[in-house]
Amino acid sequence: MVRERVTFGPARLFIGGQWVDGGAPIPVRDKYTGEVIGEVPEARREDVDAAVAAAQEGAKAMAALPAWRRAEILLRAAGMIRERKEEFARLIAAEAGKALKWARAEVERAIWTFTIAAEEARRIEGEVIPLDAVPAGEGYFGFYVRRPVGVVAAISPFNFPLNLVAHKVAPALAAGNAVVLKPASATPLTAVLLARVLEAAGVPAGGFNLIFGPGGTVGEWLAAHPGVGKVSFTGSRAVGERLTRVVGIKKLTLELGNTTPVIVAEDVQDLDWVARRLAVGAFYNSGQVCISVQRIYGVRRIFEPLVETFSRAASEMVVGDPLDERVDVGPLIDEREAMRVEGWIQEALGGGAQAVTGGRREGPVVWPTVLIRVRPEMRVVREEVFGPVASVLEADDFEEAIAAANATEYGLQVAVFTRDINRVLRAVQGLDFGGIIINDTPSFRADHMPYGGVKGSGLGREGLRYAIEEMTNVHMVVIRPAP
């Protein structure tokens, strides 16, 4: 196969409807070849100030647009993304290292994210409050309305450079806010392409602004800026905890990590199908997904056949160049991360674990790895791997599996495979996670459902309507008839 080179060229900051120069260039590399495919300028502090100031003006224009106009803009954006679907997908495959089949799926999801956001823009509702429910409210009339917060700071990760950006930008615009987006420095080019789409779709000047730079400087300047009314961040728990200390008094949504567990009950009938679903959930995007399958608890009676079928499904995944149509698993975001994941695997093996398949690394590529004989205190179990590594652990029974799944500081999503409705009910009542998926991989996410975690997995919820609630303020109105 002759590899078609993906290039993008230099980009600029997008502030107040204008493409402007910034500071030092940040090179962006093809994650498989290491070749530089583009560059973006690092924002200086004055650029962050300018972006927020432009967004404050843009917020006025966005709030003044009627709902149908905001919906129209979002639908135009969705249509333009669809027209450029292959361009977006190939760019994602190159700059994120995501296999082309999954990159195309991400673009399709982003189209739906903008489309559903347009629908939600038309139905941002308030509520009548029966004030006469208490004696003091007799004769009063009350209701509340939702109004935009103003400026939303969106800080997005590298692993979904289009759809996780869309999950912040689309609901913010739907609600009548302006946005300042800082994408991950490893994958900023997709955001540049999206900015061009939003500009062409008719977002008012200042309604969408784009800056670049490291999270520890540019991201924190943006999050802490007094002109920002809401911060939406997706990334690591460590950075999320730091943001809670720097954002000040403003609304905050944190979408953080997970050590995603799966429980496979003894009553499952098609173990091959379960194994194939788990392999996709564990290894797509090279495991760089916050709801990627990491801990699989198999009840004793089916443990050995589960290990056999899952490891076979993992070994059948095609590894290589993400721009190759046949490939399932591409590189990690950089070789340093691949070396870290390899180190965690070796640490587990040194502690008595066994690799049933995988454990191999070449440059930034790590082969899908299935571990058994791991212990709860090992990092591959206790901490978020964020790589193509899944461990299969044995549980005496279903109740023990629930307890083991809950034994974590995280609580984003969990999956249970069972045909027994009583087990389903026990799982729903007993598992402490923001999302409980029955009979599919825990990496399932429909883009309009409420999505978010408990415990160390974050604050607030995404998912269009739920994100709009986070990106608006409630304004209560009380009317007393004049005498």
Q: How far apart are CA 294 and CA 391, in angstroms?
A: 6
Q: Which domains does the chain have, with CATH numbers?
A: 9-256+456-476 (3.40.605.10), 261-446 (3.40.309.10)
pLDDT score for 72: 99
**% pLDDT > 90, the chain:** 98
Q: What 3-state class would DSSP assign to 49?
A: helix
Q: What 3-state class would DSSP assign to 420?
A: coil
Helix, strand, coil distribution of the chain in percent, nearest 5: 40, 20, 35
Q: What 3-state class would DSSP assign to 10?
A: strand
* Both structure tokens of 202: 């008719």
Q: How far apart are CA 295 and CA 262, in angstroms?
A: 6
User: Strand 178-182 and strand 208-210: pairing?
Assistant: parallel
Which residues is 210 bridged to in the sheet?
Answer: 14, 181
- In total, the chain counts a number of residues equal to 483
Residue 260 has pLDDT above 80, yes or no: yes
Which residues is 327 bridged to in the sheet?
Answer: none
Residue 29 has pLDDT above 70, yes or no: yes
Q: What 3-state class would DSSP assign to 436?
A: strand
Strand arrangement of the beta sheet that strand 354-357 belongs to: 354-357, 369-372, 389-395, 295-299, 261-264, 413-417, 435-438
CA 122 to centroid of chain Cα atoms: 25
Neighbouring residues of 466: CB distance < 8 A, sequence distance ≥ 6? 450, 451, 452
Residue 3 has pLDDT above 90, yes or no: no
Report pLDDT digits (tens) over 327-352.
999 999 999 999 999 999 999 999 99
Closest CA to 452 of 181, 60, 338, 464: 464
Strand arrangement of the beta sheet that strand 458-459 belongs to: 18-20, 13-15, 208-210, 178-182, 151-155, 230-234, 251-255, 458-459
Residue 2 has pLDDT above 70, yes or no: no
Contact 16, 205 (CB under 8 A): yes
pLDDT score for 125: 96
* Both structure tokens of 251: 């609304």
Q: Is 255 a catalytic residue?
A: yes
Q: How far apart are CA 378 and CA 435, in angstroms?
A: 25
Residue 360 has pLDDT above 70, yes or no: yes
Residue 61 has pLDDT above 70, yes or no: yes
pLDDT score for 481: 94
Q: Is 119 a catalytic residue?
A: no
pLDDT score for 273: 98
**pLDDT category of residue 243 using cuts at 50, 70 and 90:** very high
**pLDDT category of residue 124 using cuts at 50, 70 and 90:** very high
**pLDDT category of residue 1 using cuts at 50, 70 and 90:** low
The catalytic residue among 106, 120, 255, 342 is: 255
The catalytic residue among 95, 106, 290, 384 is: 290
Report pLDDT digits (tens) over 402-452.
999 999 999 999 999 999 999 999 999 999 999 999 999 999 999 999 999
pLDDT score for 318: 98
Strand arrangement of the beta sheet that strand 141-148 belongs to: 127-129, 141-148, 472-479
Residue 211 has pLDDT above 90, yes or no: yes
pLDDT score for 301: 95
* Both structure tokens of 286: 């090279």
CA 95 to centroid of chain Cα atoms: 17
Half-sphere exposure of 46 (CA within 13 A, CB side): 4
**pLDDT category of residue 284 using cuts at 50, 70 and 90:** very high
Q: How far apart are CA 358 and CA 391, in angstroms?
A: 12
Contact 460, 470 (CB under 8 A): yes
pLDDT score for 4: 78
Average pLDDT score, the chain:
98
- Work out the average pLDDT over 261-283: 98
- Work out the average pLDDT over 300-307: 97
